[in-house]
Amino acid sequence: MSTHGNEVMAQPMAMVRDRTFLDVLGDDKYYKWVLLIPLLLVLLLFMLYPLFYCLWYSFHEFGMVKAATFLGLENYRDVLRDEEFWFALKRTGIVLVVSIGAELIIGMTVAVIFNREFKGQNPIRGLILLPLLMAPLAVSMMWNFFLQYDFGIVNLIFGLVGIPKVSWFAPGVGLYTIAAISIWQWTPFSIFVLLAGLKSLPRDSFEAARVDGATPWYTFRRLTLPNLAPLIMIIVLLRTMWLIRLFDPLYGTTRGGADSELLDWMIYRNTFVYFDIGIGSTLAIISLFMTVVVCAVLFRQLMKALAVTSA
Amino acid sequence: MKRSNRFAHVLSVFAIGCLLSLGAIGTATADWLEVPTEKFKLADIPEIKNKRPIHIALFGGTKQFDIEIPKFIKKFEDKTGIKVTHEKMIMTSIYPKMNVELMSGSGAYDLIVMETSTTCEWAPYLWDVRELAAKFEPDGVAGLERDLAGHDPALLRTTQDRDGKLRGIPYWNYEQVLYHRLDCFEDPIEKANFKKKYGYDLRVPVTRKQLYDTAEFFTRKAGEKLKGEVLKKDLYGVALMAGRFEINDEISSMIWGAGGHWATIVRDENGKAIEFVITKRDKRIQKEAIEHYVSLLKFASPGCLTGFWDFCCAQFVEGLAIMMPNLYLVVEDWTWQVEKKVPGAKKGMALCVGRQGYIGDFAECVAKASKNPEASYWFMKYLGGYEAQKQLMEGGFPGVRRDIMGNPMYQNDPKWKKPIGDRAYINSLALQVQNNYVGDYIHFNSSAMGKIYEMQIIELHNAAIKKYTPEECVKVITKKTMKLQKKFGQLPIREEK
């Protein structure tokens, strides 16, 4: 009996023992982790480790010469008291608002135009895409030549039509020129995202509006825009993240001069020019924090917009 | 007999007089005579035992240089059988990239390229060149010294640390000089007009007032006349590098030329540097120099506010600017084009106002982390050696060696006079002047100079765009110099209140 009983008990145990590692991996419960673990390891190694390392340095004084010294929150206090930081932040905000605003307005206008059939539409759409395909640093250097005060093609054309030359990178102007370079390169992104949205809009609602005698402007305001809201939010979200890190247009032009230093350039300057790793890390953490906060707000708006359109 | 004695006496006095005169001339121009030094060439490189490939960093500034250097690399490879790979870097990436690699001890570069204001900062990570010579030269250090005797001593000083250890060998010098349109200074109409307006003769400026007056005088609008001819475009008296790049080199030159410093070095009785003091006098001279610079911007194109050396040079070559008061000798080869592009133009060169144009050079240095210091040493010596430098100089670059600059052939042979002789003359003259001062500049004594240099660029540019007054700018620079020196430097620093 007892032997029999042992045999009965032994059977499920043997079944458990027989389960191979591959069986476990194949289990639905674990399979998702099998797929996720490589990615999580990569994230851990290349994102979280540097992030925490950066956070650690932000509490230290470190110039690569002597060992790091713990400072507590001193770097944060120094950065927040530094007027250059606030100027850089303000300039970054201006570039962000100007660029996103212009890209959305131009992008929407061109997308609406492109939404209609016209002769030569494919080559023109292809050409519009070109700035996006260029290396951002090459773009900034190209515009630096085009906008050069004495020899740049833009001022030469101005001269031919009797417009006085413009000092495009002068203080007070340079910041907007940098925003314009970014707008030039990234507007095609908005155009094509919005164009894809326009193409996928439900035709019946527009047909109904047309039958009801709605004006194009009314249709645009009440139908097109609300339907495109999630895409607009995606553009705003992505461009916000990219613009907070705007660097290349400065590298090829003012190098932060003429009152155009942005937050990312300030981080670069402190970290890789002064090699003040503590201050540089502090700035990077503050920049990251702001990006996360802004993007969280925008993400919530995106979710709301999606909820409205899907309803 | 008596008569012949008298004749002999007169003759001997005359002969002694002649000898003394020649001696005096010889003393005055001693640096012009070819220095009898070892003319180191590729064939002199001995068998190198360590055959590991080497990787080197080079300054990739100009097309011509980019063409010439790979030729030397190829010759070196053919001679030694050692593979040499190289990277060209632009000025702005040299400091951050080299700094990271050196400090981390990565050994990514066997030979690094150094802009010499970072010599003291990087000294702990670089081999002492004489130590390498003792290891690898068949004659030991004497073999190196024979070659170094032909180098310019002022430039060699820039590659020494505070303890006098040589950390690299210069291969590209960029002393600053004053470029000008000689034809405009020689024109009778311009001379007469200038005299009438300012009450003294028009000449290539040697004082700040003259520079200011001359810059003002030549600044004209399109439609006005220059040398009796109507101008089609606006003309500027000066071209300045006021962008956020190398503005500090121009202003350093102005400060040094007025007898000031960014910080004065205090030495002990043995001549060893013990601290830096930013004296009241230094601050006054700095303020005056910045004021002078900002005042000159009135006579420069608005494009100067974001302009670098290439912009200035383009302006000069296109006939849009009359003077470049402080520009590198390395662009001399380009400036000649003004004579082709502007009818009747004649290019001139002179020492900068104050005679102390910015001095510095690019040097190749052997990293302590190098896995083949032997081959690295020989390549460094070859690139700065007589044979390679002669080819570079004849290819249009300012030399780093007195034994080439002083070669009489370049002065006496009309074939060489214009393409090389004039450049060699002004280069040698400028370096001779700087040789008296270069050891006292903070640039070649502070271990924080790489950072201070960049900070100066930012703050001086802020003064140029009138974000600060010159006085405020001096205060900011003083405060930040103190902070950076205390944080990254080795010598103490204080401000004289």
Q: Can you give the CATH number for the domain in which A101 is found?
A: 1.10.3720.10
Q: Per the domain annotation, does B480 fall within a domain?
A: yes
Instruction: Specify whether A137 is located in the same domain as A285.
Output: yes
| Domain assignment of residue B26, yes or no | no
Whether A54 is in a domain gets the answer: no
**Lowest model confidence (mean pLDDT) among A56-70, A282-296, B316-330, B340-354:** A56-70
pLDDT at A266: 96
For A55-79, what is each residue's pLDDT tens digit? 999 999 998 878 899 999 999 999 9
Q: Does A258 contact B305 at a Cβ distance shorter than 8 Å?
A: yes
In a domain, B473, yes or no: yes
B164 and B277, same domain (yes or no): no
Q: CA nearest B233 in A: which residue? A: A150
A258 touches chain B (CB under 8 A): yes
Q: Of A64, A257, A272, which has the smallest distance from its Cβ to B244's Cβ?
A: A257
- B260 and B383 fall within a common domain: no
Closest in A64, A170, A257 to B302, CB measured: A170
B435, B452, B476 — which closes off a domain? B435
User: Cα(A33)–Cα(A37) distance, rounded to whole angstroms?
Assistant: 6
Q: What are the chain A neighbours of B461 within 8 Å (beta carbons)?
A: 257-258
**The domain spanning residue B292 has which CATH number?**
3.40.190.10
Same domain as A90, residue A20: no
Q: How far is CA B61 from the centre of its chain?
A: 15
- If you measure CA to CA, which chain B residue comes closest to A156? B233
State the pLDDT at residue A121. 86
Mean pLDDT calculated for residue range B340-350: 96
Q: How far apart are the CA of A140 and the nearest CA of chain B, in angstroms?
A: 14
**B5, pLDDT greater than 70:** no
Residue B14 confidence (pLDDT) above 60: no
Say which of A64, A174, A253 has its CB closest to residue B103.
A64
Chain A CB contacts of B305 below 8 Å: 167, 169-171, 257-258
- Asked whether residue B316 falls in the same domain as residue B210, the answer is yes
Q: What pLDDT, on a 0 to 100 scale, did the predictor assign at position A17?
A: 62
Domain tally, chain B? 2
Find the helix or strand (DSSP H, E) in which B69 lies: helix B63-80
Residue A62 lies in a domain: no
The reply to whether B183 and B82 lie within a common domain is no
Establish if B10 belongs to a structural domain. Answer: no
Determine, yes or no, domain membership for A236.
Answer: yes
Q: CA-based angle B5:B6:B11, to the nearest 5?
A: 95
Positive or negative, the CA dihedral B398, B400, B406, B408 is negative
What is the rounded average pLDDT for all residues in chain B? 90
Give the model's pLDDT for residue B91. 81
Per residue in A173-205, pLDDT (tens digit) is: 999 999 999 999 999 999 999 999 999 888 888
Contact (Cβ atoms closer than 8 angstroms) between residue B110 and residue B376: yes
Q: Residue A12's pLDDT is what?
A: 54
Closest of A186, A197, A280 to residue A240, by C-alpha: A186
Same domain, B276 and B388: no
- Round the CA-based radius of gyration of chain A to a whole number and report it: 28
Is B333 domain-assigned? yes
Residue A52 lies in a domain: no
Quick check: is A159 in a domain? yes
Share of chain B above pLDDT 70, in %: 92
Going by pLDDT thresholds of 50, 70 and 90, the confidence category of residue B22 is: very low
In a domain, A53, yes or no: no
- Judge if B334 and B471 occupy the same domain: yes
Read off the tokens for A309.
């359109």
- Provide the pLDDT for residue A230: 93
Asked if A167 has any chain B CB less than 8 Å from its own CB, the reply is yes
- B221 lies in the same domain as B370: no
> Is the model's pLDDT at B62 over the cut of 90?
no
Chain A residues close to B239, C-beta within 8 Å: none
Q: Which domain holds residue B381?
A: 42-175+359-435
Q: How do B273-278 and B493-495 pair as beta strands?
A: parallel
Find the farthest-apart pair of alpha carbons in chain B and give their distance in angstroms, rounded.
85
From B417, B435, B453, give the residue that closes a domain. Answer: B435
Burial label for A160, CB within 10 Å (0-12, 13-18, 19+), is exposed
How many domains are contained in chain A? 2
Could you tell me if residue A101 is inside a domain?
Answer: yes
pLDDT at B2 > cutoff 50:
no
Helix axes A83-114, A121-133, angle to 10 degrees: 160
Whether A137 has its CB under 8 Å from any CB of chain B: the answer is no
Whether B27 maps to a domain, the answer reads no
Question: Same domain, yes or no, for B489 and B348?
Answer: yes
Contacts of B77 (CB under 8 A, 6+ apart): B83, B84
Domain identity same for A21 and A81: no
Same domain? For B133 and B264 the reply is: no
Cβ-based neighbour number of residue A12 at 10 Å: 9
Banded pLDDT at B306 (limits 50, 70, 90): confident
Residue A10 lies in a domain: yes
Q: CA distances (Å), A40 to each of A34, A35, A44, A45, A47, in order?
A: 10, 9, 6, 8, 10
CA distance linking residue A168 with residue A153, whole number of Å: 12
Question: Where does the pLDDT of residue B322 fall: very low under 50, low under 70, confident under 90, or very high at 90 and above?
Answer: very high
Run of H or E residues at B179: strand B176-181
- At a CB cut-off of 8 Å and minimum separation 6, what does B313 contact? B239, B324, B327, B331, B334, B335
pLDDT at residue A311, as a whole number: 66
Domain that holds residue A212: 74-310
Q: B465 and B324 share a domain?
A: yes
Q: Is residue B225 part of a domain?
A: yes
- Chain B interface, best mutation among A65, A87, A175, A253, by max B CB count within 10 A: A65
A43 or B10: which leads in pLDDT: A43
Closest Cα in chain A to B239: A150
- Least confident piece of the model among A26-40, B11-25, B83-97, B456-470: B11-25
pLDDT of residue B288: 98
- pLDDT at position B11, please? 45
Better-scored residue on pLDDT, B296 or A36 = B296
The one-character DSSP state at B300 is S
In one-letter notation, the amino acid at residue B197 is K
Q: Which residues contact B105 (CB under 8 A, 6 or more apart)?
A: B125, B368, B369
Query: Does A39 lie in the same domain as A78?
Result: no
Residues A174 and A303 in one domain: yes
What mean pLDDT comes out for the span B257-281? 96
Structure token pair of residue B201: 């003769």
User: What are the beta bridge partners of residue B350?
Assistant: B178
Q: Which is more confident, B298 or A15?
A: B298
Average pLDDT, chain A: 89
d(CA B32, CA B403): 9
- Residues with Cβ within 8 Å of B216's Cβ and at least 6 positions away in sequence, in order, are B237, B298, B299
| Same domain (yes/no): A245, A293 | yes
pLDDT digits (tens, 9 = 90+) for B169-211: 999 888 999 999 999 999 999 999 999 999 999 999 999 999 9
- A266 and A157, same structural domain? yes
What's the whole-number mean pLDDT along residues B99-115? 93
Q: Give pLDDT < 70 ranges for chain A.
A: 1-17, 311
Per-residue pLDDT at A59: 96
